[in-house]
Structures are given as structure tokens and as C-alpha cells.
Amino acid sequence: MARRTVLLALAAGLAAVSAIWMLQGLPSGPARGFVLGLRAERLAGLVLVGASTGIATILFQTVAANRVLTPQIMGFDALYILLQTLLVAALGIAGFAALPVWAKFAGEVGVMALLSSLLFGALLGQGTRDIPRMILTGVILGVMFRALNAFIGRVLDPNEFAVVQQASFASFSKLDATLLPAGLVLTLVGGISAARMAGRLDVLALGRDSAISLGLRQGRFVPMVLALVAIMTSVATALVGPITFFGLIVAGLTHGMMRSARHADLLPAAALIAAITLVLGQLGFERLMGQAGFLSVGIEFAGGLFFLFLLIRGRIR
Amino acid sequence: MRLVPAGLAVLALLACASLTVGAASVSILDATRDPRAALILMESRLPRTLAVILTGAALAVAGVVLQALVRNRFVGPETTGTAESAALGLLAVSVWAPASPIWAKMVAASLAAMAGTALFVAVIRRIPVREVMLVPIAGLVLSGVIGSVATFVGWQTDLLQYVNAWLMAGEFSGVLAGRYELLWVAAAAAGLAWFAADRFAILGLGEGVATGLGLSPGGVMRLGLAVVAVVTAMVVTTVGMIPFVGLVVPNIVARVMGDNLRASIPAVAVLGAVLLLACDLLGRLVRFPYEIPVGTILGVVGAMIFLWLLYRRPAHG
């Protein structure tokens, strides 16, 4: 039951970090309630982003049969942002603004799930072993989606562009709080479905051929998992914008800490570790170093170095 | 193959078109009689056309040199951290010695770019030789890491706006007479590469072969790094990042002409200029009289060409 202990310790760690987040340097007097509300909102956002990124990364790595690929490296987040721009371009400002927030979000996430399970299912489902080529494809697809996004942004009229910019300009210090309820529901639904799939995911992790011979309907299961990945990645991207290497760090930490191949252990551990990392990181940058917007830069730096380390050590195959 | 004459003919046509396209409604044919038309031609249209041609040619040649140095077809000066390092060098001069003359700043940018590219070469030497696709991935990740350092330093020193101008999609709309002449330096560096073409071609056969043929690999390596660094530094500081030109043009030429660099460098230069000028014209015409940065257009066009190259070639490259 050592794994159970690790999970409990992680949960306690998250609770402790959250308590520090809420209470550190709290002003007394009438401002207290306001500050507490503000902090609670942002804490919820960070935990949601962490949980969804952690779960999405573990799911994706199982489908890809590789511990280096993450949804962000494969361009999922860029696809989401492109989709948002296309939506504004298609509906116009009036149509975009008339939709209620949750309906818009649900629609985007739905289209995203469909598109990415088609696109990446075709890439991943064949059981390809040329992982480096896959990574390169994903990175270049990401570059292309971003450039297309910039292109459409330029062709839009300035008012529509302003709407797009507002919708896609989220960061750790400027979390998009209007999406919190919808994000919470989606993360919960996604997390519970992932947990219910844990057994089948363990089978899938044995490899394509073993999974099929054990009776897993691989052709139907893989697109389903990818759709889940798309939903979780959309939630994270919508709340704080793209962060390329975060999933990689989380997956590395999770595998290092759990030393287990069972998804019933890996999924909750990844969610907890990601949430702790984000809250601690934001706490450090914002309160200790006084630099609010730099968690994402710090993550890119550390994650990039970690990736290069894996690469030089020959762990990327 | 008559690639060079055909390319030159297309380039001449594109250049004529480029001279006649612009927001000011004047007839360039009247330049001998109309002083306003002459002014627009000499101060804006001609410098812009020249700047695009010089940039495209120089970047493509830098790409072919870099690909020979690291013996990998899937890299370009824009995917190895060279541009980000140049920005970092420029940033360092702007912080520590803001009053230094322009040539000193350019030297600093070039030296930093050279150091960054040398770091990339050092990293990829530790990757197993057969892993062709890992080399570009390492480059992209390294440029992300160096870019995050540049962003952090730029933010700390209130110079983030400059950093963004250097590293965002390049565009030529700001080019006027007197503002692009550094690109001649880039073109001169590319010309130097043509003189040393045989050496680069031999180094591309491997260090053992090069030493056996009486060539000092270290010296040729340094010369090549200097060419790549100077070209990239000049382009980044004058017009910003231009993606994919140095990556895809050498690949296309090599499919037709092989790896004899003495013969293929002129073709690479001409085709690089053709590609960039065509994309620039496209960017000027799509939303005439407004403009879309050529870097954005190339992000889409270049990514498509690159993906095609990636899947047309056998996996062992």
C-alpha cells in the first residue's frame, strides 16, 4: 500500500500549499473578505489547470505508447486557439457575444474533441514506431496552426480581432474566471471517465497487439481517449493559455514518484502533482519574487532543459 | 537542370511586380517625369524589394551551410536557437552599453548567435547519429529555452517590446532606404559561403572523411557557424524572424541537384529569394492596401512544404 501512502501524502501536500496560498500575508480589516475571494478563485483555476493537464498528459502518453509526447508538444493547444479564432470569424462579434459563455465553451470543446480524435487518431492509431517523426510532425503542425491563427487574425476586421485577442489572452496572472464553472464540470466529468477507464488503459499500455488480443476494441477506444485528452487540454488552454512543457514535467515527476504502471495510481498522482507544482510555482513567482506573469516562462525554461536532458540521455525513442 | 536561369527569370518578374505594388497609387513607369513617383520608387519600393531578395537568398544559403555542418536536412537557422541567441546578445549590449555604435551591437548579436549555434552543435553531438529526427527537435526545444531567457531578461529590463519585435513574425513593411542596408552584410556573408562551398560539401561527408582529405574540420566548422550567425543576426535585427526559408529551400534544391554545394548554392540563393518575394507579394495583396507579415504567410506555406518533405522521404533520411 506504499502507493496509497504516496497519494495521501500528495493530497496532504496540496492541502498545505493551498492553505499557504490562501493565508500568506493576509490583510486584516474589511479587505480580508475580498482578498480571500480573489485568492480562492485563482486557486481553483490553478488546481483545475493542473488536474486537467496531468490527466490529459498521462492519457495521451498511454495512447502514444511513449513517455515524452504530450498533447501540448503535439499542437493540441494551438489547435484550440485556432478554433476559437475561426469561431469568431464565422459568427461575427454579435453572434460570438450573444452565445452564453458555457455554450460557447462546450461547443469549442466538442469540435476540438472531434477534430483532434480524427487528426491525431489517424497519426497515432496505426501503432507507428517512428516517434521522433511524430514529435516533429506535431511541432510543425503547432507552428502551422499558430501561423494560420495569426493569418486569420490579420484578415479579420479590427473589432473582431479585439474580441479574439480578449478571448485568447489568458495567462497565470490573468486567469479567465468566467470559464471556471464550465471548466470544473468538464474536468470532473473527464476525470471520472478517465478513472472508470483505468483498467482498459492498463491493457492499452501493454501495446497495440497485446491489447487487441486481450479483447480491447482498440479502434473505438483510442479515439475516445483522444477526445478526452482534447477536452482536458481545451480546459487548461482556455483558462491560462498554452504552456508547452508543463505536461512533460508533470509526467516525468509522476513516473519518478509512483514507479507504477497502473492508471488507478498514475491518474490521481499526476493530477495532484500538477496542481501542487502550479500553486507552488505561482506562489514563488508572485509572492516571493514579486513577478506575477512569469510562471509560464519559468516552466518553459525548466521543461525545455528537462526535455533536452531526456534527449541526450537517450530516453526519447 | 536549368534551375538558376529559370529561377532568375521568375525572380525578375516578381521583382517587377513588387515594384508596382504598394499603398501609394502612383505609376512607377512615370518615375522619370514625376518626382513623387521617383521618390516612392527610390525610398520605399526598391529598398523593400532588394531587402526581401537579399534576406531570402542569404537565409537559404545559411540554411544549406548549417545543414552541411550538422549533417541533417531537417534544420534551419530559425530552428536552432540562432535567432534567439542573437536577440539575447543584442539585449545584453542594449543593457550594458546602450550608447555603443551600431556596428558594435551587430558584432555582439553575431557573436551571441554564433555561441548559440555552437551550443546547438555541442548538444546534437551527444545524440545518436542515426536519430535523424531528434536533431531538429533538439533545436526547436533549445530555441524555446533561449527564447524564454531572452523574454525574462527583456521583461526585467523593460525591453520586452524590442525582444518581441525581433522574435515575432518578420515583416518588410517598415523597410525604407537607410533602414535595410545591414542586409547587404548578410548577403556578403552568404557570398563568402559560396567561395568556401567545397569545404562545406566535404565536411558534410563527415569529419573523418574531411580530415582524410586534408581539411581541418574545426576551422571549416567555425567559418560555417560564422556565416550562419552573421546572416541570422542581421536578418533578425533588421526585419525579425523569417521562418522556414533556410529549412525548406535547401531541401527542394537538393532533391533536384544533389549535394554538390559549389553548383547548388546559387540555385539555393535564387530559390530562397523567389520564395520569400512571392510570399511577401502574397502578404501585400491578400488584404490590399493592408499587409500581412511575410513571416505569417511563410509559417503556413513553409509548414506545409516541410510536412510534405517529412513524409515524402524515407525515415532514414
Residue A130: the pLDDT is 67
| Residue contact B142–A144, C-beta within 8 A | no
| Residue contact A304–B145, C-beta within 8 A | yes
- Given CB atoms, is A97 within the 8 Å cutoff of chain B? no
Question: What's the predicted TM-score (pTM) here?
Answer: 0.83
Q: Which residue has the higher pLDDT, A70 or B10?
A: B10
- Spatial distance between the Cα atoms of B254 and B252, rounded to a whole number of angstroms: 5
pLDDT of A239 strictly over 60? yes
- Spatial distance between the Cα atoms of A104 and A163, rounded to a whole number of angstroms: 14
pLDDT of B169 strictly over 70? no
Task: List the single residue in A with minimal CA-CA distance to B125.
Answer: A312
- What pLDDT digit, counting tens, does each position of A7-18 carry? 898 999 999 988
For residue B147, give the C-alpha cell. 527564447
Question: Percentage of residues in chain A with pLDDT exceeding 70?
Answer: 91
Q: Residue B127 — φ and ψ, nearest 5°?
A: -90, 140
- Spatial distance between the Cα atoms of A64 and A61, rounded to a whole number of angstroms: 5
B123 to chain A: which residues are within 8 Å by CB? 308, 312
Residue B57: the pLDDT is 95
Q: Which residue has the higher pLDDT, A124 or B293?
A: B293
Asked if ipTM goes beyond 0.95, one says no
| Residue contact B148–A316, C-beta within 8 A | no
- What pLDDT digit, counting tens, does each position of B59-68 carry? 999 999 999 9
> Mean pLDDT over residues B142-168, rounded?
81
| Residue contact B287–A151, C-beta within 8 A | no
| Residue contact B306–A314, C-beta within 8 A | no
- Given CB atoms, is A171 within the 8 Å cutoff of chain B? no
Q: Fold for domain A2-21+39-312?
A: ABC transporter involved in vitamin B12 uptake, BtuC (1.10.3470)
| Residue contact B128–A314, C-beta within 8 A | yes
pLDDT interval class at B314 (50, 70, 90): low
Of A277, A280, A282, A269, residue with least CA distance to A303: A277
Task: List the single residue in B with minimal CA-CA distance to A154.
Answer: B292
Residue B64: the pLDDT is 94
- Given CB atoms, is B300 within the 8 Å cutoff of chain A? yes
pLDDT interval class at A126 (50, 70, 90): low
Are B132 and B317 a contacting pair, CB within 8 Å? yes
| Residue contact A311–B138, C-beta within 8 A | yes
- Given CB atoms, is B142 within the 8 Å cutoff of chain A? yes
List, as ranges, residues 211-230 from B with C-beta within 8 Å of A. none
Q: Which residue has the higher pLDDT, A205 or A293?
A: A205
Write the CATH number of the domain with boundaries B3-14+38-312. Answer: 1.10.3470.10
List, as ranges, residues 152-181 from B with C-beta within 8 Å of A. 152, 155, 169
| Residue contact A297–B151, C-beta within 8 A | yes
Q: What Rg do the C-alpha atoms of chain B give, in angstroms?
A: 19
| Residue contact A132–B286, C-beta within 8 A | no
> Mean pLDDT over residues A86-98, rounded?
76
The domains of chain A are located at 2-21+39-312
| Residue contact A140–B306, C-beta within 8 A | yes
| Residue contact A143–B299, C-beta within 8 A | yes
> Mean pLDDT over residues B105-131, rounded?
86
Residue B30: the pLDDT is 72
- What pLDDT digit, counting tens, does each position of A263-275 carry? 888 999 999 999 9
- What pLDDT digit, counting tens, does each position of B204-256 carry? 888 888 888 888 888 899 999 999 999 999 998 888 888 889 999 998 898 88
Measure in Å the smallest separation between the Cα of A135 and chain B Cα atoms: 8
Q: For A46-55, A210-219, B299-308, which range has the lowest pLDDT when averaged over its residues?
A: A210-219
- Spatial distance between the Cα atoms of A233 and A223, rounded to a whole number of angstroms: 15
- What pLDDT digit, counting tens, does each position of B192-216 carry? 999 998 889 888 888 888 888 888 8
Measure in Å the smallest separation between the Cα of A188 and chain B Cα atoms: 33
Residue A128: the pLDDT is 55
pLDDT of A2 strictly over 80? no
- Spatial distance between the Cα atoms of A34 and A27, rounded to a whole number of angstroms: 10
Residue A165: the pLDDT is 67
- Given CB atoms, is B140 within the 8 Å cutoff of chain A? yes
Task: Please report how many Cα atoms fall inside a 13 Å half-sphere around the Cα of residue B314, on the Cβ side.
Answer: 1
A138 to chain B: which residues are within 8 Å by CB? none
B169 to chain A: which residues are within 8 Å by CB? 147, 150
Q: Reduced to 3 states, what is the DSSP secondary structure of residue B97?
A: coil
Task: List the single residue in B with minimal CA-CA distance to A314.
Answer: B127
B141 to chain A: which residues are within 8 Å by CB? 304, 307-308, 311
Residue B272: the pLDDT is 95
Are A278 and A261 a contacting pair, CB within 8 Å? no
pLDDT of A316 strictly over 70? no
